[in-house]
């Protein structure tokens, strides 16, 4: 599968995306560069004792606070719930998320209001662990504090979704709210990484990408630890799409298991899901190779094969016959795939990409299609070639990059 995909990629990838996703930061006379502009950079990071503010004290924000709390950084965790802030600072426990865990003593909870400009400008790092649908409103407020774009903190985003209504990736939300320079400096961490395993220090690896590769390197240096490996790259669009799309396929895999289908069916969904993700990503303008990395197949495999995944769990319960509203209201945590399925449906329709599994997930979630009917329809599809990456068409990535001032 890997060899086949690589061969097809070599044959079919158009020139523009490959140039586009080369490193933006290492231009030198020895490595001629297609882009002619200065990439924005965050302020220099101290070798030790960075001041890090994590926005979002849910499962993942709390987990990443704990991860950074292992080092000698000053870690601040913003929570929207006053009670959670108070309890955390007294007892080093998060009342609502990962409630069993004893957090490091060098994490200070702040909130419930968003920290003010003076506090934000003191920070070396801002890490956003806010679900995608709430990012725009928070960035709009925070942008007032990011006045000096030449002294930005290192910006890290870990959410995995597509915004409802706009179908925007996080890069676009950042550009809309904070401007193109902030979006170009933003870094994205994604990969197979359940919060509850990271806090138990289980060996884990993730992808870290940015249009400004030097920023990705800074984020990687901050997170890299003996039990946590980071691999850097320069395809943030592919990394973002990987994280958002895998959640939709995790719902499909959960549905199949919930219906009582077994290993063959789940393996089919994972593999065909990877093919769909790669086609959607390529049509969008991302590098197909990104989908073979940790953020792509790595996270797809993780979330499609574990009941620890909220998205898998939503699918499983749908397969068992529970109504969606009941599942969402009792899940106790976000399952980004449910909202992202809407954006994915619009994107595949616009791009004309054949993505029958994503299409069926959307229909089960929003058109009352029975899960069993969805699987039956997938099995009844006419035989087709295993993998054909789209080569033509206008790519949304080009428009997004033009918005960021990254057009060639
Ligand atoms: N939990 C995990 O293992 C991983 C989660 N992620 C991603 O990280 C993001 C956050 O996920 P979790 O922390 O797991 O979710 P969660 O459901 O555990 O927590 C959600 C957080 O969002 C906050 N929130 C709700 N409404 C908000 C608003 N209007 N403004 C600001 N914050 C608001 C909540 O207070 C809470 O802190 C998601 O995009 C998820 O896909 C990524 C990797 C792993
Ligand atoms: O993205 C995740 C792990 O990498 C978490 O997946 P869920 O949001 O489905 O729980």
Q: What is the pLDDT of residues 11-54, one digit of tens each?
A: 333 333 433 433 333 333 333 334 445 677 899 888 788 999 99
Is position 7 within any domain?
A: no
What's residue 26's pLDDT?
33
Q: Is 134 annotated as a binding residue?
A: yes
- Counting ligand 2 atoms within 8 A of each CB, the residue from 310, 314, 316 with the most, and so the one to mutate, is 310
What's residue 149's pLDDT?
79
Q: Report, as an integer, the average pLDDT of 308-329.
A: 98
CB of 313 closer than 6 A to ligand 2?
A: no
Bridge-based pairing of strands 187-190 and 154-157 is parallel
Distance 44 CA to ligand 2 centre (A): 31
* pLDDT above 70 coverage of the chain, percent: 90
Q: Report, as an integer, the average pLDDT of 176-191.
A: 97
* Chosen domain end from 215, 237, 259: 237
Which ligand lies nearest the alpha carbon of 309? Answer: 2
Q: Report, as an integer, the average pLDDT of 347-362.
A: 97
Report which protein residue has its CA nearest ligand 1's atom 34. 58
Decide: 35 and 408 in contact? Cβ < 8 Å: yes
Is position 102 within any domain?
A: yes
For residues 6 and 295, give the distance between their C-alpha atoms in angstroms, rounded to a whole number.
17
CB of 299 closer than 6 A to ligand 1?
A: no
Report which protein residue has its CA nearest ligand 1's atom 40. 159
What's residue 37's pLDDT?
53
Q: Is 165 annotated as a binding residue?
A: no
- Residues 261, 231: one domain? no
- Helix%, strand%, coil% for the chain, nearest 5: 50, 10, 35
Token reading at 130: 């806010």
Q: Report, as an integer, the average pLDDT of 62-78.
A: 93
CA terminus-to-terminus distance, the chain: 33
What's residue 46's pLDDT?
85
Is position 141 within any domain?
A: yes
- ipTM for the assembly: 0.99
For residues 402 and 135, give the distance between their C-alpha atoms in angstroms, rounded to a whole number.
22
Q: Is the pLDDT of residue 366 over 90?
A: yes
Q: Is the pLDDT of residue 274 over 50?
A: yes
**pLDDT band (50, 70, 90) for residue 382:** very high
Is position 42 within any domain?
A: no
Q: Is the pLDDT of residue 293 over 80?
A: yes
Q: Report, as an integer, the average pLDDT of 237-253.
A: 98
pTM for the predicted model, two decimal places: 0.92
Domain residues for the domain of 220 are 51-237
CA angle, residues 99, 104, 107, in degrees to nearest 5: 95
**pLDDT band (50, 70, 90) for residue 400:** very high
CB of 302 closer than 6 A to ligand 2?
A: yes
Which ligand lies nearest the alpha carbon of 340? Answer: 1
Q: Is 273 annotated as a binding residue?
A: no
Is position 5 within any domain?
A: no
Q: Is the pLDDT of residue 344 over 50?
A: yes
**pLDDT band (50, 70, 90) for residue 142:** very high
- Residues 267, 399: one domain? yes
Q: Report, as an integer, the average pLDDT of 355-375.
A: 98
- Residues 79, 214: one domain? yes
- Could you give the maximum distance between any two Cα atoms of the chain, in Å? 62
Distance 204 CA to ligand 2 centre (A): 13
What's residue 72's pLDDT?
85
Residue 370 or residue 224, greater confidence: 370
Q: Is 57 annotated as a binding residue?
A: yes
- Residues 363, 277: one domain? yes
Span 386-395, pLDDT tens digits = 999 998 777 8
CB of 62 closer than 6 A to ligand 2?
A: no
Q: What is the CATH number of the domain that holds 345?
A: 1.10.1040.10
* Chosen domain end from 237, 252, 280: 237
What's residue 8's pLDDT?
37
Q: Considering the chain, what is the average pLDDT of its residues?
A: 90
Q: Report, as an integer, the average pLDDT of 399-406.
A: 93
Q: Which residues, other chains included, contact 334 with Cβ-Cβ below 8 Å and sequence gap of 6+?
A: 58, 131, 310
CB of 311 closer than 6 A to ligand 2?
A: yes
Which ligand lies nearest the alpha carbon of 248? Answer: 2
Q: Is 266 annotated as a binding residue?
A: no
**pLDDT band (50, 70, 90) for residue 207:** very high
**Catalytic-role residue among 43, 86, 96, 246:** 246
The count of structural domains within the chain is: 2
What's residue 331's pLDDT?
98
Distance 244 CA to ligand 2 centre (A): 10
State yes or no: is 196 an active-site residue: no
For residues 320 and 372, give the distance between their C-alpha atoms in angstroms, rounded to a whole number.
10
Q: Report, as an integer, the average pLDDT of 344-363.
A: 97
Collapse the DSSP code of 20 into the 3-class scheme (helix H, G, I; strand E, B; otherwise coil) and give the result.
Answer: helix
Q: What is the CATH number of the domain that holds 222?
A: 3.40.50.720
Token reading at 289: 């190779």
């Amino acid at each position: 599968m890997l060899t086949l995909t690589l061969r097809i990629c070599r044959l079919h990838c158009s020139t523009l995306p490959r140039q586009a996703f080369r490193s933006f930061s290492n231009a030198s006379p020895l490595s001629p560069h297609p882009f002619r502009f200065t990439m924005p950079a965050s302020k220099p990071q101290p070798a030790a004792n960075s001041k890090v503010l994590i926005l979002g004290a849910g499962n993942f924000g709390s987990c990443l606070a704990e991860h950074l709390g292992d080092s000698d950084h000053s870690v601040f965790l913003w929570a929207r719930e006053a009670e959670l802030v108070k309890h955390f600072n007294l007892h080093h426990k998060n009342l609502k998320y990962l409630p069993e865990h004893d957090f490091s003593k060098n994490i200070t909870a702040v909130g419930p209001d968003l920290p003010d400009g003076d506090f934000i400008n003191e920070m070396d790092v801002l890490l956003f662990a806010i679900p995608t649908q709430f990012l725009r409103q928070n960035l709009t407020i925070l942008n007032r504090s990011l006045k000096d774009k030449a002294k930005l903190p290192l910006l890290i985003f870990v959410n995995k979704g597509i915004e409802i209504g706009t179908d925007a990736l996080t890069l676009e939300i950042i550009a809309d709210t904070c401007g193109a320079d902030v979006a170009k400096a933003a870094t994205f961490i994604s990969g197979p990484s359940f919060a509850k395993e990271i806090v138990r220090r289980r060996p884990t690896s993730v992808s870290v990408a940015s249009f400004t590769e030097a920023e990705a390197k800074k984020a990687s240096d901050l997170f890299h630890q003996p039990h946590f490996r980071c691999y850097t790259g320069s395809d943030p669009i592919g990394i973002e799409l990987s994280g958002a799309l895998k959640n939709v396929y995790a719902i499909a895999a959960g549905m199949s298991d919930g219906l009582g289908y077994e290993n063959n069916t789940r393996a089919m969904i994972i593999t065909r899901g990877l093919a769909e993700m790669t086609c959607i990503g390529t049509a969008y303008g991302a590098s197909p190779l990104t989908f073979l990395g940790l953020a792509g197949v790595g996270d797809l495999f993780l979330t499609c094969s574990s009941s620890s995944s909220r998205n898998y769990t939503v699918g499983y319960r749908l397969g068992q016959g529970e109504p969606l509203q009941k599942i969402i209201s009792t899940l106790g945590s976000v399952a980004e795939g449910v909202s992202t399925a809407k954006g994915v449906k619009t994107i595949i329709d616009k791009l004309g990409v054949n993505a029958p599994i994503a299409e069926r997930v959307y229909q089960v979630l929003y058109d009352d299609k029975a899960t069993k009917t969805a699987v039956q329809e997938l099995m009844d599809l006419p035989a087709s070639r295993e993998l054909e990456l789209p080569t033509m068409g206008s790519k949304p990535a080009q428009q997004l990059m033009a918005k960021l001032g990254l057009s060639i």
